[in-house]
Amino acid sequence: MKKVLVLDFGGQYNLLVARRVRECGVYCEIKPYTMSMDDIRAFDPAAIIFTGGPATVFEPNAPALDNAIFELGLPILGICYGQQLMIHQLGGACRRAEVREYGKVELTHDGTSLLFDGVEPTSICWMSHGVEVEKLSPGFRAIAHTAGCAYAAIENAERKLYGVQFHPEVLHTVHGTEILKNFLYKVCGLSPEWSMANYVSEAIGEVRAKVGSGKVLLALSGGVDSAVAAALLYRAVGEQLTCIFVDHGLLRKDEGDQVEQAMHDCLGMRIVRVNAQERFLTKLAGISEPERKRKIIGEEFIRVFEAEAKKLGRVDFLAQGTIYPDVVESGVGGESVVIKSHHNVGGLPDHVDFKEIIEPLRRLFKDEVRQLGIELGLPESLVWRQPFPGPGLAIRVIGEITEEKLHIVREADAIFREEVAKAGLERSINQYFAALTNLRSVGVMGDERTYDYAIALRAVETQDFMTADFSRLPWELLDTVSRRIVNEVKGVNRILYDVTSKPPATVELE
């Protein structure tokens, strides 16, 4: 399979560049711009993309490349800093722009370049730069401009070298995907052959080659990534895989059963389910500080997992559902491994005897992981699950946790989810749940005074969960949910809807 090399200069949209290329059906990987020429040759790319970055080409110590890269004869697309660097290194010049362009800007191309083939003459693009090309390198010409930038896109068609000052990977660039497709298909002659349907057999082959006849152990969390990793591993090595599912009693209504059933019914796979509810509740008794709860749950998870894993004796591989965005560091990309706490809840087990870690999803983006899950036969309900935090309902009961409170929040949450699904809003809200506030207030039911808990409903829309906006849910939906919870869940007499965004609030209440 042909692949594109994305050389990372540290720009904020770099992961998006790789995602868009893959969405065009072309496999690519992000590597740091410091990759050696030998490694680049060994990677054997069909084309190279230079990303944007925060540096300024003409300043000392600015990231630069070996000029040999331009002699490989490969098509290259430079984006923002990438364009400036190409020009700078090939005998042209850049300067600080008189007007810093930022945001949506009208772009006009001259209709003569393959890069803009089929693209409207004038359209909106996304700009974010304070430096611009001043003088082109020999053999280059301008192919598009904006009011403030004469070299918004450039080419040396003969050498297949292209540059854009704007960001085609950002969705605000209306024809960004078409421009990338033009580069990949028309300039580079690549075709869209990267899809999860095609990838399955390759991924299975890779796992088999690595695992051989070894034993693999995986901790299932009930989340999408570990479930898809399990499905892939099971398809590849069958009973050599053991999945341990620690049910800490902090899952949503019927969730533990659903995970077990999906793995069994859809894949024919048996999992080891450890019902450790009591153990966790005992450890959490009397604890109300959120971070303390998280720590206890993380540690306890590892202890339970270890105890179960010990029964298997030595395993050869410990599998994890790490995905590509976790692997590529923010900033100047590369292959540094960041194991996020929520992938294994509380870090790696100290007392499990294994040879190596295996991460079969480490090259995939989240949407690719979901497609792969579907290809492997997992149900949509599991594959399209909304994010659910490792510590589960423990951080959705504010303050001290009791069995009664867990029951209340679980039932309220189930009603909320059921009604959101009925309203057809499941996929348009990124995360939604009920939380039990530790607040009790006065109410009246029938002729009686009540003094019960208030439930907070939370629903957010977000791209990356770093910032989020609260969802403008229809009043009718909130009305139905509110009535149902108060009527059906004993111990609740008030429903609040959280209308804060993040920041200043967070998504979870704890």
CB nearer to ligand XMP: give 134 or 508.
508
Amino acid at 208: R
CB nearer to ligand XMP: give 156 or 221.
221
Pick from 183, 228, 182, 187: nearest CA to 362: 228
Q: How far is the CB of 349 from ligand XMP (least distance, A)?
A: 17
Which of these is catalytic: 23, 24, 29, 80?
Answer: 80
Q: How far is the CB of 295 from ligand XMP (least distance, A)?
A: 10
Q: Please work out, in degrees rounded to the nearest 5, the angle formed at the alpha carbon of residue 187 by the alpha carbons of 183 and 190.
A: 80
- Residues forming the site for ligand XMP (CB under 6 A): 294, 342, 387, 389-391, 431, 465, 502, 506-508
Q: Note whether 129 and 101 are within 8 A (CB).
A: yes
**In sequence order, what DSSP letters do the residues of 183-242 get, joined into one string?**
IIIIIS-------HHHHHHHHHHHHHHHHTT--EEEEE-SSHHHHHHHHHHHHHHGGGEE
CB nearer to ligand XMP: give 379 or 387.
387
| Annotated catalytic residue 28 | no
Q: How many CA atoms lie within 13 A of 53 on its CB side?
A: 25
Which of these is catalytic: 167, 175, 248, 343?
Answer: 167
Rounded to whole angstroms, the Cα distance separating 163 from 73 reads 16
Which of these is catalytic: 169, 359, 368, 375?
Answer: 169
CB nearer to ligand XMP: give 230 or 297.
297
Rounded to whole angstroms, the Cα distance separating 252 from 418 reads 12
CB nearer to ligand XMP: give 31 or 294.
294
| Annotated catalytic residue 188 | no
Q: How far is CA 262 from CA 55, 258, 383, in A?
A: 49, 6, 11
CB nearer to ligand XMP: give 60 or 503.
503
| Annotated catalytic residue 80 | yes
Residue 369, token pair as written in the block:
């992981």
Residue with tokens 């084309």: 47
CB nearer to ligand XMP: give 138 or 504.
504
Q: How far is the CB of 506 from ligand XMP (least distance, A)?
A: 3
**For residue 256, how many other CB atoms are within 10 A of its CB?**
19
Backbone phi and psi for residue 371, each to the nearest 5 degrees, phi listed first: -60, -40
Number of H helices, E strands in the chain: 15, 18
Q: Note whether 408 and 495 are within 8 A (CB).
A: no
Residue with tokens 């029951």: 407
Minimal CB distance residue for ligand XMP: 342
Pick from 478, 470, 452, 481: nearest CA to 507: 470
The one-character DSSP state at 397 is B
Report, as residue numbers or ranges, the catalytic residues: 80, 167, 169
